[in-house]
Chain A
């Protein structure tokens, strides 16, 4: 028997049937357990690729992607539709999804259902946006896709408005009112989810989300106005109030809550600004030194040699005063913390001029103390870590003196501290002034919004309300909303400047 014949016989060896069946069951049970979450949540095991990409990549590599899309689109098979369900802008099968939605629209002549379709499509756009924004891989393609997703959302929401108008022209008032109500509720939901995504989004995308939010507000207000305008003024005034006023009252509540939030933010602004400045002082005041650097860069070249001599003298004195400085720092920091809280509690009251002066004096004292502690801590850090950066800072502090006084440099540390303090003191005073003014502006605008809302509430209590009155109310609400949004933006901008 030749080798090949022997091997042929050996091929026939098979595993035992009983063992095969047992292990098969065990394998399938484990497979079910481990991948049940996959099937229930329609997640793909590989986060990098969506289902459509895997389909293309694994299954139909040789044919080009466009050809596949064309074939599937024209075939209209359920296979393609299933594959295209969870796609996202940027995927090749996304085109199929959109074309499906378009064909659905073309086929429905009922305007009511078209509004429903527009709402559903905008919800889908929201889902896509969320999926893209929460994806793990940040890349340039992803950002492009997110932009397109937001733009698509924007268009979708505008379509809702357009379809509502078409409904208005053609059908009777009851159906329009009902559909307008559904539009209102759905847009509110969309708005909430959009605000959540905005918080976690990058700044580029935030701008685009704001555009979408504007269009969302337009559609919701438009829906409200249609409810108001389509109602026939009957003799029973209670009918008009029940339908539209409920929605208006809900919106008033929302804006009031927002106003409260913005006011709290404005109050926190002042606190955080002072706290942060004092924290900077405690840490070592590097940021303030940066401001000093800007002033000093003009005249610095000729005085380096003299500074070198001063460095040596300063080092000697630093080494002598270590222990005393540390003990004093602890006391000063405790005193500053106590004074800090006093200032905060006092600033909460209304800003009269006398109180401001007193506060300024207190601020000056505290700042002097903190500056002393700051410089002492700087000296400590230099003794611990002799780095060139800190040497340069000392040079620059010394240079401030020379420029201000136009006198010969002194070798003692105490004189340097006092003069340094004055300059830094003024800078910090200016900072605190700015933040207080900004917070005041913010509070002004929120107060404006509040007054408008109060007017609206009073008018609602009246019984004789026309369509025009209600329309005016809606416009006022929009104005108040915009004011609160502006105030919110101002708070965000201020927070950014402080953190710089």
Chain B
């Protein structure tokens, strides 16, 4: 979301206008869902956690705190919720049957009807590989390649410098490639 637009929305939230809340949800809900899904790998858990992030966001607003960066706030809430989620849960399933329902890109489906299974296998492999990575590396890769955030935006979420994130991204990608090629 553009900075100016985001700040305009924040200003309207401060006055309690509901359309601002609608816009936030419509824009950020699928993105945060994606982010969480690739960390958690079960659809139901991802759904629960995304709804929890927005509830926490409302609580944060209600405590009358100043918001400087809405995107960073939402992603950080999501990150922290996933960490707490993993503390409680012990086992994690790798493969999910509902992936096929989610892939909305119909063109690809029509063109590659035969290769949907292959796709599912590829996705499973990538997820496996991602899991072997460090938590932070995983997050950076997901944010960069799946959520399409710029390095500046990622740096604001993590609170680190851009150079730091470029380097860690590079290293994370190297590791991922190694893992995939090894398999």
Q: Tell me the A residues contacting B by CB distance below 8 Å.
A: 1, 3-4, 6-7, 9-16, 19-20, 23-24, 26-28, 30-32, 34-36, 38-39, 42, 44-48, 51, 54-55, 58-59
Of the residues B11, B29, B51, B102, contact of A55 by C-beta under 8 Å: B11
Contacts A31-B58, A38-B15; A11 near B148 (Cβ below 8 A):
yes
Taking the nearest CB of chain A, how far is it from the CB of B122, in angstroms?
A: 6
Expressed in whole angstroms, the Cα–Cα distance for A47 and B101 within the complex equals 47
> Hey, which bits of chain B sit against chain A, CB under 8 A?
4, 7-8, 10-11, 13-18, 21-22, 25-26, 29-30, 33-34, 37-38, 43, 46-47, 50-51, 54-55, 58, 61-62, 64-66, 99, 101-105, 108, 119, 122-123, 126, 145-146, 148, 173, 176-177, 180
Q: Which of A11, A26, A34, A51 contacts B15 (CB 8 A)?
A: A51
What chain A residues lie within 8 Å of B16 (beta carbons)?
A: 35-36, 38-39, 45
By the criterion CB–CB under 8 Å, are B18 and A23 in contact?
A: no
Q: In whole angstroms, how far apart are the Cα atoms of A42 and B65 in the complex?
A: 18
Give every chain B residue within 8 A of A36 (Cβ-Cβ): 16
- Top 8 nearest A-B pairs (CB, nearest first) are A38-B16, A35-B16, A39-B16, A7-B145, A58-B7, A12-B105, A15-B33, A31-B21
Cβ-neighbour of B108 out of A9, A16, A55, A59 (below 8 A)? A9
Is B173 in contact with A51, judged by CB distance below 8 angstroms?
A: no
Q: Are A58 and B10 in contact (CB under 8 A)?
A: yes
Chain A nearest CB from B23 CB (Å) reads: 11
CB–CB A31/B104 < 8 A:
no
A15-B47, A39-B17 are known contacts. Are A7 and B146 too (CB-CB below 8 A)? yes
Asked if A12 and B11 make an inter-chain contact with CB atoms under 8 angstroms apart, the answer reads: no
Shortest C-beta distance, B63 to chain A (Å), equals 9
Contact partner of A46 (CB less than 8 A), chosen from B14, B30, B104, is B14
B9 (CB) vs chain A CBs: closest residue: A58
Which residue, of B15, B16, B46, B145, has the highest number of chain A Cβ atoms within 10 A?
Answer: B16
B10 touches A13 (CB 8 A): no
User: When chains A and B are docked, how far (Å) is the Cα of A195 from the Cα of B18?
Assistant: 40
Kindly list chain B residues whose C-beta atoms are within 8 Å of the C-beta of A12: 103-105, 108
Given A28-B21, A28-B22, A55-B11, also A23-B66 (CB < 8 A): no
- By the criterion CB–CB under 8 Å, are B66 and A46 in contact? yes
Question: Which one of A1, A24, A38 lies within 8 Å of B29 (CB-CB)?
Answer: A24
A-B contact pairs, 15 of them (CB 8 A): A3-B180, A9-B108, A10-B145, A12-B104, A13-B102, A14-B102, A15-B33, A15-B46, A16-B101, A20-B30, A34-B61, A45-B64, A47-B64, A58-B10, A59-B8
A58 near B15 (CB under 8 angstroms)? no
**A19 and B46 alpha carbons, distance in the complex (Å):** 11
Residue of A nearest to B51 (CB): A23
Tell me which residues across on chain A come within 8 A of B14, comparing CB atoms. 44-46, 51, 54
Chain A residues with CB under 8 A of B47: 15-16, 19, 23
Contacts of B176 in A (CB 8 A): 3
Q: Which of B62, B102, B123, B146 contacts A16 (CB 8 A)?
A: B102
Nearest residue, chain A, Cβ from B20: A31
CB of B45 to closest CB in A, whole Å: 12
A95 to B29, CA, bound (A): 41
A3 in contact with B173 (CB, 8 Å):
yes
Chain A residues with CB under 8 Å of B26's CB are 24
Given contacts A13-B37, A15-B29, A16-B101, contact A26 B145 (CB under 8 A): no
Further contacts, 16 of them, CB under 8 A, given A27-B51, A45-B16: A9-B123, A15-B29, A15-B50, A23-B47, A24-B22, A24-B25, A26-B51, A27-B55, A28-B21, A34-B61, A34-B62, A39-B16, A45-B61, A46-B64, A46-B66, A58-B10
Residues of B within 8 A of A54 (CB): 11, 14
Q: Is the CB of A31 within 8 A of B18?
A: yes
User: In the assembled complex, which residues on chain A have CB atoms less than 8 Å from the CB atom of B4?
Assistant: 59
CA distance A44 to B58 in the complex (A): 15
Which residues of chain A have C-beta atoms less than 8 A from B10's C-beta? 58
A51 to B46, CA, bound (A): 37
Q: Note all chain B residues with C-beta closer than 8 A to A38.
A: 15-16
Residues of A within 8 A of B17 (CB): 39
Distance from A249 Cβ to chain B, minimum over Cβ atoms (Å): 48
Contact present for B21 and A44 (CB under 8 Å): no
CB distance A6 to B11 under 8 Å?
A: no
